[in-house]
Structures are given as structure tokens and as C-alpha cells.
Amino acid sequence: MAQILNTALLQANLEWENIEQNKALFEERIKELPQETDLIILPEMFSTGFSMNAENLAEPHKGETFQWMQKMALEKDAAVTGSLIISENGNFYNRLYFVHPDGTSQKYDKRHTFTLAKENETYASGKERLTVEFKGWKICPLVCYDLRFPVWARNTEDYDLLIYVANWPAARVAAWDTLLKARAIENMSYCIGLNRVGRNGSDLNYVGHSAVYDCLGKQISSNLKEEEFTEIVELNKRHLIDTRSQLKFLQDRDRFTVH
């Protein structure tokens, strides 16, 4: 078990619907990461931006961009996670991959498709939540709009780290800041939100504010930034265990089932 999980946040200005350029951008930044990096987090739809043009942009399950993620994971000996536009069995999905250093992977299809942008008219909704086991850590990765639904993130598996990859617009960034902190506190978990910056093809503005909070809601990343940046944040499993041992709030949670 790794007591320390060195986690890289890559906040970026995505090139609209330009898969190759976005991969090249991230590849350059990933290669600059220190060798001690354990986990690399990329935004939602990191290869295209948040596009409804799935018919022209979708890749097959474990297609070229997924294979690029495997390549990055192998080269850096680190896990890589982020979401892509995927076509499978006649449906399009906003699919997050968690790729381990050895190339094995797990997937999560975004549960809450963003109806305000009519994402639900293009993408099928996921049905199952994912918990990843990585270096002795339990990790729950979710996608953007999922952040607004605390029941879906409810910590019933005693996960250690909750991750949201996003394209969350500037107009509602106050909600992003508030809800990330709330998810950390209510789930007694580290919580990471990784957002993008810049403008998309519809001139919608994104201002980042990627951040990391500990299980008490303390921000342990740098001040909320509104430009491209890379930051390595150290997550400490001993801090999490000691805090949960002292403050047994999770033991008092209500029991119910989500359908």
C-alpha cells in the first residue's frame, strides 16, 4: 500500500474537436512530470472538449486515444484517467477510463448527462458506479455534472479518493467550488476536481478552479487558478485513516439503496 499518492492535475485549454492536437498537448506536459508521479488526471472529454458532435468524433471502445493513455501510463509508470467520446453497441458514451501503469483499465460511463446542453439527447447514461483499487487506495472517479448529485457519490464503499473530471463553465464556477468541498466533507474523503480553461466552439468560457480537498474540506492544492497549469498534490493515507478513526462520521450515515 502506498501511504503517499502523488497526484498530477493537468488543467488545460482544450483545442476544440482536435483530437491529435490535444493528445500532443497533454503528451508534452505528461513527459515533464516527475518520475514519482502516481496518478495523472485529465479533464472531461480531454481530446475534444465538451462536444455534442459525437457522430464525427467518437472512437471505439479502447480505440486510438485509449491506447495513447496506455502509452502514457506505461512511459510514466503512473495511472492515467480522463473521459472520451466513445461509440459502442449503437450508443455514444461520455466514458471515463482509469488506465493502470501495466495497461489494464476500468471504465465509467457518465451517469448524469447534462440536460441543459442536451447531452442526454446524444449520449447514453451510465448505470454503474466504479470503484478502482490502486496502490492500496480506493478511488471513485466521476464526471462533471455528477457533482450536483450527492447521492450518487455517497461513500458506501469507504473509498479514499473521489475524483471529478469536468468541463464546468465559468458562469457556474461558484457551484463547482462549493460542491467539491462539500463532497469531501460529507464523504470523509479526499476530493479532486479537474476542470478545463479557455473557450469552446460555442464561445463558452471555462476558468478552471481545479482543486484538491482533504477529508475535512481543507484545500490542499494551490489557490484556484484560471489559466493552464500542472500541479502535483501529495495525498496522505495516514492522515485520512487517523481523521476517520477520530471522527467516525461515516459510521452514522443512513442506509438506503440507489436505483
CB atoms within 10 A of CB 6: 18
Identify any residues that bridge with 101 across adjacent strands, giving them in sequence order: none
Picking from 61, 137, 78, 149, the residue whose alpha carbon sits closest to that of residue 113 is 149
Give the burial class of 60: count Cβ atoms within 10 A of its Cβ; 0-12 exposed, 13-18 middle, 19 or more buried: exposed
**Alpha carbon distance 232, 254 (integer Å):** 35
Provide the annotated active-site residues. 44, 110, 144
Residue 28 cell numbers, joined: 508534452
CB atoms within 10 A of CB 91: 14
In the block, cell 482544450 appears at: 14
Identify any residues that bridge with 85 across adjacent strands, giving them in sequence order: 94
**Alpha carbon distance 75, 172 (integer Å):** 37
Residue 18 cell numbers, joined: 482536435
